[in-house]
Structure 1
Amino acid sequence: MVSKTRKQWSKRKRIVIGSLGVLSLIYIAVILWHTFKPLPQGVSYDGELHKTDAVDFITDLTYAQDQKGKDMVHENHIFDAVNTMIKEADDFVVVDFFSFDGYYDEKVDFPKIADTLSTTLANKKRENPNMPVVFITDPLNRGYGSYENEWFKKMRDAGVEIVYTDLDQLRDSIPIYSGIHRTFFQWFDIGGKGWIANATASEAPKMTIASYMTLLNIKANHRKVVVTDKEAMVTSSNPHDASGFHGNIALKVTGPIINDILEAEEAVSLFSGGPELPRAKVEESDGEYEVQYVTEKKILDALLADLAITEKGDKIWLGMFFIAKRDIVNALIDAANRGVEVNMILDPNENSFGQQKSGLPNRPVVQEMVEDTKGKINVRWYNTVIGQYHAKAIWIQTDDQTVISSGSGNYTDRTLDNYNLESNMRVVAPNDSEFVGEMEDYFERIWNNEDAMYTVDKEEFQDDFTWWQRWIYTLQKSIKVTTY
């Protein structure tokens, strides 16, 4: 009898171990496939270089007259330009924005960006019912399936075509969690009305458990693009009210690059079940600037090539929200060590929408860069009394030319290793051109605090740097569990 019982237990044990082994193999296979699977056609795009006569440099700046936030000033121009572009379009409007809503808890009178832009787009469609007006966006803006926010409803009711990006088609940037989600959690979406408080704001619609499970994959269509038949804009700014006082940069151009951007946006629309997109009637022309549209890892490839040719005496300005991508960090360290002047204006990663942050990733990365260059890299922190320094721009000047890359792409693995969808404009310009001068004036103004307290010394935030910040940063990078 005892022998029979032991045999039964042994059999059950083998079944349990075998089942766990099969599940483990499935889990590992899911991780490997969704980390390295082929990208959807048209993702990671690099367009041709096109000549144009003008590149418009547009900024949003919020700053204080002193470090404590006295006499706040808001210079917001980007969404004024966006709304004007839409109103002046004759044939079509295509926009792609990551975060788009008016929910927030902070007791601040933020600009009504979402309401203004949604009204502009809705009115454009009502006035021109046969005109294609397409809004491509991230499912964040519907709570990953929990609701439709009021701004998208307004546009949809007017006939604007809303395309929510199918993030499942993209690779997974947090494989440890996403493997579990794809293997188990995704099959238990039972629908129903949301009942869990929204993480973005207490007044935002509630979410379901399934939506939260999807959110934890931390993947996104992070692009920020506006295209009409006349011109195109690539920006670092979101039409999100609570982001209304962030520091941001936008580049606006005309010419055949419009159709390159439409081609790349059409790829996202099609793999997400959306429509084919129109094209602009534009021809190649002459001009002093060369412009190129690059997305995802092509942003990184172009940037590393541009950094590699810098020599002693050249100059780099960097304005960045997150910097952590190892290839770029090493390239900037190498440039500084061979005599390139490298000036970085960074967000201190001190707060996010009123919530205290740990300083990751920028502070441990800055500590490393300063150490590895023996202080040759110059760093100032943006004085984020309110909002964030949300720009993602680099300015690289050699004897021959200046190259600028600006848009939605932070310098992180998630951004530049073909996980998120990202969009940048790359511009090759003469050193003595107006655009190059305008952009350097912008950086000089902020660096030198010419008319306000824009930036503070590196030591202002770096003096309280601790070993645990570098340890946590290293751990997060090694296991790929980060929010940046």
Structure 2
Amino acid sequence: MRQHRYRPGKRTLMILLSIGLFAWLIVGSWHVYKPMPGGLDVATPWVPATEVTFLADTTYTGPDGKRVSDQQIFDAIVEMVDGTRERLVLDMFLFNDFAGEVTDGHRPLSAELTTALVEQKRRHPDLDAALITDPVNTVYGSIDSAHLERLRSAGVRVIITDLDRLRDPNPLWSGLWRLCCGWLESEPGSGWLPNPLTEDRASTLAAWMRLLNFKANHRKTVVADRGDNWIGLVTSANPHDASSRHGNVALRFAGPAALDLLSTEAAAARLSGAERAITLPSPPRGDYFEATEGRLRVLTEARIREAAVSIIEAAEDGERLDLAMFYLAHREIIEALKRAAARGVNLRVLLDPNHDAFGRQKSGIPNRPVGMELHRAGVEVRWCHTDGEQCHSKLLLHHAADGSARLLLGSANFTRRNLDNFNMETNVEWQAPPNHPALRAATGFFDTRWNNPDGERHSLPFEDYADDSSWRYWRYRVMEATGLSTF
């Protein structure tokens, strides 16, 4: 019998291919599990809560059939900007006027916030102001951002987050990208490919490659001085024109928790090489340990997941859990919700139907398959009634039997990418005393969205978007597990 022999060229090719595949596996695995940069994935200590205010943006259909948009969040942010004198730090994921395929009905949030910052810096030249943001706003270096350039010209420090320091949720692509092309940079104005975010300006190949890593600095926070005190705000809302009609939530608070929030943003600045951009001042004055507004802490990255699971697991038979979420996909959260329903917790889950994305129609993944799974487990599920905008809130509220509550809200969707140390995220957890005005406001927000009072139409019954497709369910499961997704 004639023995098969490899030709030297084929043997060499097989060796090189094996080395390449091994390197791809090692590099991809390392960047999924590598140590987190210092200052990320933190839970700050509990501190007394002061001046807590709940804010919301809602869009709904009024009794006359017309769409109504009630907005509070960016009015409050502009008020914070106008009231600061010494130091102001914002961390905002989307800060642009990209419109996608939507052409009207926007509030120009990016221009409004830019103008407010520039004018406050003009009135108070010594104001130390910084904006931390994601490279998506320059389409990963493909274009110059007029808003960011205007802020720089006015003396506002603009820090673009170095996403390469973060872990990679999409190792199948990112491992290859880091081996072959991670060194490629985009030159503004040199693009020749279609732009995934704005049709009037081209994108570069390097930008597309970075986009496919599917990670972001997804935070939305503001910290500002106010005399001898400090005030902080954590939200799900972006200063992004095409997002201006989205539903969103925010919590504003004063005192030591605001400085804890500032410390997490100092870590975000250091991540991107701006080690001295944010210095921490002395603690605010006042006997905050006499506060009667419960207690509060700031959570980032995976600590948000830990808090969410803790809140769900703490709910007992007869108590209530309310969840409003743009993307719900994380298996640990879903299993915790199903266990809560099984032990008699009154669960209300309000989800975006994942139908609209800036003029484009989406597939309904992941929320519709997840909604069906929860429905089959006995959980009450309703869908936000959207008409082009998104139900972008991220809120979990546990009503205890004694009237107190635990509220968790902020930037993080309940997905693997948002909760497992891939994106940068910030949430706040508040243990609220009974009958606090902010607790009543948060409860009223959810009740209104759930119950459609006074002829208004905020939400739809489960049947309107019920989806029992096994194909879409397992497609969601694979996308969630592998990171081959945008959620």
TM-score w.r.t. the length of structure 1 is 0.94
Q: Aligned to 1:345, what secondary structure does the other structure show?
A: strand
- Looking at structure 2, the residues matched to 39 and 122 of structure 1 have their Cα atoms a distance apart, in angstroms, of 34
User: Which string of whole-angstrom CA distances, capped at 9 and with x for unpartnered residues, describes residues 354-409 of structure 1?
Assistant: 111110001111111121x2x2x111100001300000001001224310000001
2:331 pairs with 1:326:
yes
Amino acid at match of 1:84: E
Amino acid at match of 1:65: G
- Looking at structure 1, the residues matched to 111 and 8 of structure 2 have their Cα atoms a distance apart, in angstroms, of 64
- Looking at structure 1, the residues matched to 425 and 481 of structure 2 have their Cα atoms a distance apart, in angstroms, of 23
Amino acid at match of 1:239: P
Q: For residues 62-73 of structure 1, what are the structure 2 equivalents within 5 Å?
A: 62-65=59-62, 70-73=65-68
Q: For residues 57-456 of structure 1, what are the structure 2 equivalents within 5 Å?
A: 57-65=54-62, 70-104=65-99, 105-189=101-185, 191=187, 193-203=190-200, 205-229=201-225, 230-274=230-274, 275-280=276-281, 281-283=283-285, 285=288, 286-287=290-291, 288-371=293-376, 373=377, 375=378, 377-400=379-402, 401-451=404-454, 452-456=456-460
Quickly say closer, same or farther: Cα 1:363–1:94, change in 2 above 3 A: same
Question: Does structure 2 retain, via aligned residues, the 8 Å contact 1:220–1:421?
Answer: yes
Q: Aligned to 2:364, what secondary structure does the other structure show?
A: coil
Q: Aligned to 1:234, what secondary structure does the other structure show?
A: strand
Residue 190 of structure 1: how far off its partner (Å): 7.0
Question: Does structure 2 retain, via aligned residues, the 8 Å contact 1:313–1:340?
Answer: yes
2:51 pairs with 1:32:
no
Residue 194 of structure 1: how far off its partner (Å): 1.6
Q: Aligned to 1:153, what secondary structure does the other structure show?
A: helix
Amino acid at match of 2:72: H
- Looking at structure 2, the residues matched to 327 and 465 of structure 1 have their Cα atoms a distance apart, in angstroms, of 21
| Paired position in structure 1 for 2:7 | 10
Question: Does structure 1 retain, via aligned residues, the 8 Å contact 2:312–2:321?
Answer: no
- Looking at structure 2, the residues matched to 342 and 438 of structure 1 have their Cα atoms a distance apart, in angstroms, of 19
- Looking at structure 1, the residues matched to 130 and 265 of structure 2 have their Cα atoms a distance apart, in angstroms, of 10
Q: Runs (4+) of structure 1 moved beyond 6 Å? A: none
| Paired position in structure 2 for 1:3 | none
Question: Does structure 2 retain, via aligned residues, the 8 Å contact 1:290–1:429?
Answer: yes
Structure 1 unaligned regions, length at least 5? 1-5
Let me know the Cα RMSD of the aligned residues: 1.7
Q: Aligned to 1:199, what secondary structure does the other structure show?
A: coil
Amino acid at match of 1:351: D
Amino acid at match of 2:398: I
Amino acid at match of 1:44: D
User: Which string of whole-angstrom CA distances, capped at 9 and with x for unpartnered residues, describes residues 209-239 of structure 1?
Assistant: 1111101101000000010013110000000
Question: Does structure 2 retain, via aligned residues, the 8 Å contact 1:342–1:378?
Answer: yes
Residue 334 of structure 1: how far off its partner (Å): 0.5
Amino acid at match of 1:472: R
- Looking at structure 2, the residues matched to 82 and 188 of structure 1 have their Cα atoms a distance apart, in angstroms, of 37
Amino acid at match of 1:31: G
2:475 pairs with 1:472:
yes
Quickly say closer, same or farther: Cα 1:158–1:355, change in 2 above 3 A: same
Question: Does structure 2 retain, via aligned residues, the 8 Å contact 1:319–1:394?
Answer: yes
Query: Identity across aligned pairs (percent)?
Result: 35
User: Which string of whole-angstrom CA distances, capped at 9 and with x for unpartnered residues, describes residues 49-78 of structure 1?
Assistant: 111232111111111126xx9311110111
Residue 247 of structure 1: how far off its partner (Å): 0.3
Structure 2 unaligned regions, length at least 5? none
Amino acid at match of 1:194: G
How many residue pairs match? The answer is 472
Residue 480 of structure 1: how far off its partner (Å): 2.6
TM-score w.r.t. the length of structure 2 is 0.94
Residue 189 of structure 1: how far off its partner (Å): 4.1
Q: Aligned to 2:336, what secondary structure does the other structure show?
A: helix
Q: Aligned to 2:258, what secondary structure does the other structure show?
A: helix
- Looking at structure 2, the residues matched to 478 and 425 of structure 1 have their Cα atoms a distance apart, in angstroms, of 26
